[in-house]
Structure 1
């Protein structure tokens, strides 16, 4: 080899290339470690109504490792998505020392159980209910039924509209029986669904006979049991017992 000029030239060129690469790597390592690239700013936009600086400091800042070049954006995204109210976060770098974060918040539809909220999409999340600016309906049900309960809530809104009432509480029991508390104070037992029309048919019997019911018993109806096959039973204010099933229109 030492007598081969061509091979010596190739070896020399290779060493030069390796030397240059080493210099570039060393320079790059030195550059990315400069204090000027330390993360100094987090710019947040999007749904920020329930997001404030103390929450970000407590939930996110301590989990951000590295600088502008080395921070793990996926880990940063996950840290932001662990904050209350945050459904989704997107994170990107902003030269030379900042992160830009866009947040998408859950849109609450109602409360769920004793300590959670449910979104308009039927997703459960945990947040400070004291931050709500309005009273929301209450929902509850077995694990994994949030979307089903939310869908039925919208059905109940339509089905009870003829009597001028809206659902305030919707509960699906462990036995999958439905109970609804309405804005007029009436609790309605709908029972279990036998088929896709069960709840609609039972509700329709009550709303179709509502005028006759209120004329006979008054408008202060406290309880209605719609689980009968061809009618329903009610309890008006001051009554000790539930009445005999009242025949309604099918």
Structure 2
């Protein structure tokens, strides 16, 4: 008898024993119960009690009948859960690996973005006031976050991070920095325009004894600055040229 045939016979016998056990009532809900719960998670937004309650939504406790995929689905329905991995470990343990969303921005006023640019919903978004606000299309959320992070890096010489960013369907960006400065980028050459502002920031501050209120960077070689003076808005073209806007 070759090894393949032996293995086939062994597997067939095991299957037969399992069927017999099920028919004889050996595998029942009150036998081989799952009594241990092991969780690998860093709790920040959810609590162990909330997790236990979500697991309890699946009433079946038999090791053989407990549906691990249903438990996984229940856990992933929690607002702050990014993903969960649920497996049964013989003879009585349910093991859960859990990863929470890390919110990095408020998205369109009523949702959040995680570190990968995924949109997710939670209650009381308005309480997360320290997060920057981003506005854009859901299908472009990942690219929007990547651009936002890049713009923040380029603006480091200015000394203020972005508190709000908005991009419309044409790809035109407008930023508001944490010092209140509004920056109009337009729909092209975003990084080059931000670099122009960063590289001439000291020159801009030296042009007036007041901080600028708005900078329009949609020019080839210069930009328009607006600041408040004597309670009236005034504009000045800095510095090099006033070519056609793009």
- TM-score tier (shorter): 0.7 to 0.9
Distance 1:156 1:135 in 2: 18
The alignment covers a number of residue pairs equal to 227
**Is the counterpart of residue 222 in structure 1 residue 217 in structure 2?**
no
Distance 2:88 2:41 in 1: 17
Residue 104 of structure 2 aligns with which residue? Answer: 109
Check the 8 A contact 1:39/1:67 in 2, yes or no. Answer: yes
Distance 2:59 2:126 in 1: 27
Change (3 A) 1:43 1:129: farther
TM-score w.r.t. the length of structure 1 is 0.78
Structure 1 unaligned segments of length 5 or more: list them.
1-17
Shift of 1:133: 7.5
**Is the counterpart of residue 118 in structure 1 residue 118 in structure 2?**
no
- The structure whose Rg is larger is 1
Q: Write out aligned runs for 1:73-152 (5 A).
A: 73-129=68-124, 135-152=130-147
Q: Structure 1 residues 132-141 or 212-221, which shifts more?
A: 132-141
Check the 8 A contact 2:136/2:168 in 1, yes or no. Answer: yes
TM-score w.r.t. the length of structure 2 is 0.79
The one of 30, 34, 47 equivalent to 1:35 is 30
Shift of 1:74: 2.2
1:50 is paired with a residue whose SS is coil
Distance 2:55 2:210 in 1: 54
Check the 8 A contact 2:58/2:71 in 1, yes or no. Answer: yes
Question: Which digits, 9 at most, give the CA deviation of each residue in 1:27-51, with x for residues without a partner?
Answer: 3341220514344554322132222
Change (3 A) 1:140 1:41: farther
Shift of 1:53: 4.7
Check the 8 A contact 2:38/2:95 in 1, yes or no. Answer: yes
Structure 2 unaligned segments of length 5 or more: list them.
1-12, 242-246
Residue 43 of structure 2 aligns with which residue? Answer: 48
Change (3 A) 1:211 1:25: closer
Question: Which digits, 9 at most, give the CA deviation of each residue in 1:154-181, with x for residues without a partner?
Answer: 2111221112121111211233210111
Residue 190 of structure 2 aligns with which residue? Answer: 199
Change (3 A) 1:24 1:178: closer
